[in-house]
Structure 1
Amino acid sequence: MTTLILHRSGPDSWVVTSDPNQLTMPEMPAMLSLRGGLFAADARRPDLVPWADIDNVEAAADWILVFYGSEVLAALETEAAVGDHIAVEITDPPTNHPLARLALARWLHRWWPSAHAGVARLDQRLLRAEIGALTWAMQDWLDEADGPEAWLGTHEWAAVETAVAQAPGFASGAELALEPTASGGTAGRRTSFTASLHLLIDAADDLAPDSPVATADLPWPEELIEPALVPSEQDDYALTAGGTTTAAPDWWLVPPRSVGGGEDALRWTEDAGDLTVEVTVGDEPADGLRLRAYAEGDDFPVAAGPLVREGAVYRGRARSTAVEPIDLVEVYHPDQVRPPVPSGMAESWRRGVRGIVNLRTHAAATGQALGGIWPFAAEILATTPLTPQ
């Protein structure tokens, strides 16, 4: 049995949580905007029952009933006037429900970094195809801003619907898992996939590279809120060697995987106020990136300019207006709506993302169900070659 806490957060709104100390959104939220409220699985703890903030119980009734159960819905509908803090026990925590899987898949699509030391490259076409299948299954519950049209173009949606019609089981993800043999371990795991996975790969192949929906244009619900991050034990660090300072770009400020994922992906030198910046190009290069630089004690940029892609790097130059030397350079895209997070928070977020990626990579490589949720197809293929059929 699992106890859920229903906490009144406003005159007509409720927070649903399995942790009485977690009334706010999880620190690393895998969010969906649903009819009648927000839904957030914990990317760090997928074994926990996802959190929700419900502002319209009537509009959210269908997914509350299916996901949390009749006891929770009844408490919200009939006991709302009794108190502001209600405990309800449920028997089957729905951590592997397609709704939770969809939230986590979209989080991975937003935050999985570019491949670098220790981080595998994730096939984003395949992940988007799986997101499409899960979106198909959950489309009646999704808010319009987070629905199929926001994620897939007409051609892509048709490809996903064809694959779902031929193998509807893969929408739940149950058929996409590697199943360890009785001997267990890496050597004994099955490396051939079901026919539904091959259909999913076929659907991914149909996702044209000139899709009308680009990665940078996708709506990210996380950008609508301030993340509840624990401050880092150290600030973003910059290392200087031989006149060149190296640092990591702030992933909040750039499109997903547009820059390198390493801690040395950003490099700059300053000579008598002339700033030269170089940034490693990521798995999904983006146009329109810019630089802005700050001197110690300045709240406003003292140098700014465009970054131009030249092969494997973006390069840019700018002239500083400050007397003091530059101690911070940011890479950003003007279309990123999320305001900058403090430097310590940005580094803490990257460390959190890397921790999740490492954990999920290990689970996929060893055929484990992390928190009861089987790995996604793209995660499996990133660690296990596909056996031809």
Structure 2
Amino acid sequence: MTWTRVRREAGTLWVGAVPDHPEWTALVEAEGAVLTWDVPGGQRLPSAEVHHPERAADWLWQVYGAASEALLAVAEGSEREVELADEGGPLAEPLAALARLGWLAAWWPASHVAGVPALSAALLAAEAAVVAADVEAVLDDPEAVARLLGRAAPAVHALAALADHPELGSEARALSERLAEVADDFGAELPAPAPLVADRGGWALAAGGEPAGGVTAMSGGGPLDWRRLPPGVVDAAAGLRWSLVRRDGRLLLDVAVPRAPLAYAERAGRATLRARADAVEFPLDAAEDGGAFGGAAEVPPSALLVPAPRRTVTVWAPGYAPEDEAPPDGDALAERQEPVLLHAEERLTAGGVSFAERVAALVDPEVA
């Protein structure tokens, strides 16, 4: 049994507290409430932001248990400490599984440097579609299952390729059959797509040393803020590299960001990144060999007066993150991101929980 607080704040009822950082947060938007889990913290029962108690009361007891004091506190609108049964109600496990699959799609830290392989977005969507179909009645979005089925179409090929795998075959066949059933129930078609083509160049690190045709005057590195970048595009643990290069009589700031391991060409090809430093802003384009995003811009000679440890380079994806946020603090980012990397490494060692994680741990990622 665990204790948590139920409170009212500005017309909203809260069961427990949301995780400290978005990178740690798995969530499900349900009828009248948003449920959240602290993923690295191993939270079993969710916290809840109940913005419509009447709608949430129809199903919330199935998360916290029929005799839950939390449900009574929510219904009464009171503030109190409540005791929750660790196992929760019948919806606790499937909603947690759906939230975790969403977290894996958004925050899984694929990294060559940390040895964390990329997960198949299609397999994650296939698993999520199957789970979402079982809890569709309590989801806030009536089109959630249909959208997941659309993203799951490429998984048909991956599951067929895995059907004869000695350890994963039976699970692949079962997921394939269940996915077909859900698609039929929701009137969706799952065409047999062409095989996914993984880009092995994504495993390459960004080129080091001095850029061609120039002399490096100063170089250094910096952190990447995952909140500003689409999932599965850059190496989550590598960080960025920058160089001040004298070339053709000009001083250039050169920035390189390694791509995620085995990022699919379609995903990485759609990504548009930009860098900002020394009062200049410029695009970072994907290298032809697939190893990194890179770009350069001319900076004034005074840029050489900034000590390397004090130089801040910010990288973000336009349209995905605000352009005017303050530069990331390296220590703060490490505090937020290190638990996620450790969590991913532990799950791979333990065999993971989702099928996509088990595939990544056991199979050449090109298969899925």
Q: Same fold (TM over 0.5)?
A: yes
Q: Which residue of 2 aligns with 1:304?
A: 281
Equivalent-residue separation in structure 2 for 1:208 and 1:113 (angstroms): 27
1:247 aligns with 2:222: yes
The offset of 1:354, in angstroms, is: 0.6
**Cα shift readout 1:256-310 (whole Å, capped 9, x = no counterpart):** 1111234255443344542222222221414352333224xxxxxx111122222
Which range moved further: 60-69 or 268-277?
Answer: 268-277
**Cα shift readout 1:329-352 (whole Å, capped 9, x = no counterpart):** 222111114656732333333212
Which structure 1 segments of 5+ residues have no match?
18-22, 164-189, 212-238, 296-301, 365-373
The offset of 1:14, in angstroms, is: 1.5
Q: Which residue of 2 aligns with 1:377?
A: 355
Which residue identity does 2:297 align to in structure 1? Answer: A
| Aligned with 2:33 (options 30, 33, 37) | 37
Q: Which residue of 1 aligns with 2:187?
A: none
Percentage of identical aligned residues: 21
**Paired positions, count:** 308
The offset of 1:56, in angstroms, is: 0.8
Label 1:209 to 1:67 Cα distance change in 2 as closer, same or farther (>3 A). farther
Q: Which residue of 2 aligns with 1:280?
A: 258
Q: Which residue of 2 aligns with 1:133?
A: 130
| Aligned with 2:49 (options 49, 53, 61) | 53
CA contact (8 A) 1:260 1:280 kept: yes
CA contact (8 A) 2:126 2:149 kept: no
Secondary structure class of the residue paired with 1:328: coil
CA contact (8 A) 1:114 1:260 kept: yes
Equivalent-residue separation in structure 2 for 1:304 and 1:249 (angstroms): 16
The offset of 1:129, in angstroms, is: 1.0
1:356 aligns with 2:343: yes
Label 1:280 to 1:194 Cα distance change in 2 as closer, same or farther (>3 A). closer
Secondary structure class of the residue paired with 1:153: helix
TM-score where L is the length of structure 2: 0.70
Secondary structure class of the residue paired with 1:104: helix
Label 1:304 to 1:147 Cα distance change in 2 as closer, same or farther (>3 A). same
Label 1:133 to 1:324 Cα distance change in 2 as closer, same or farther (>3 A). same
Which range moved further: 195-204 or 285-294?
Answer: 195-204
Label 1:277 to 1:4 Cα distance change in 2 as closer, same or farther (>3 A). closer
Secondary structure class of the residue paired with 1:97: helix
Q: Which residue of 2 aligns with 1:317?
A: 296
**Cα shift readout 1:116-135 (whole Å, capped 9, x = no counterpart):** 14212322221221111112
Equivalent-residue separation in structure 1 for 2:155 and 2:355 (angstroms): 20
Q: Which residue of 1 aligns with 2:200?
A: none
CA contact (8 A) 2:314 2:328 kept: no
Q: Which residue of 2 aligns with 1:168?
A: none
The offset of 1:58, in angstroms, is: 1.2
Equivalent-residue separation in structure 1 for 2:118 and 2:46 (angstroms): 27
Which structure 2 segments of 5+ residues have no match?
160-164, 181-189, 197-207, 211-215
CA contact (8 A) 2:65 2:88 kept: no
CA contact (8 A) 1:155 1:207 kept: no
CA contact (8 A) 2:19 2:37 kept: no
Equivalent-residue separation in structure 1 for 2:241 and 2:15 (angstroms): 41
1:100 aligns with 2:96: yes
Secondary structure class of the residue paired with 2:312: strand
Label 1:77 to 1:287 Cα distance change in 2 as closer, same or farther (>3 A). closer
Q: Which residue of 1 aligns with 2:82?
A: 87
Secondary structure class of the residue paired with 1:7: strand
Q: Which residue of 2 aligns with 1:343?
A: 329
TM-score where L is the length of structure 1: 0.67
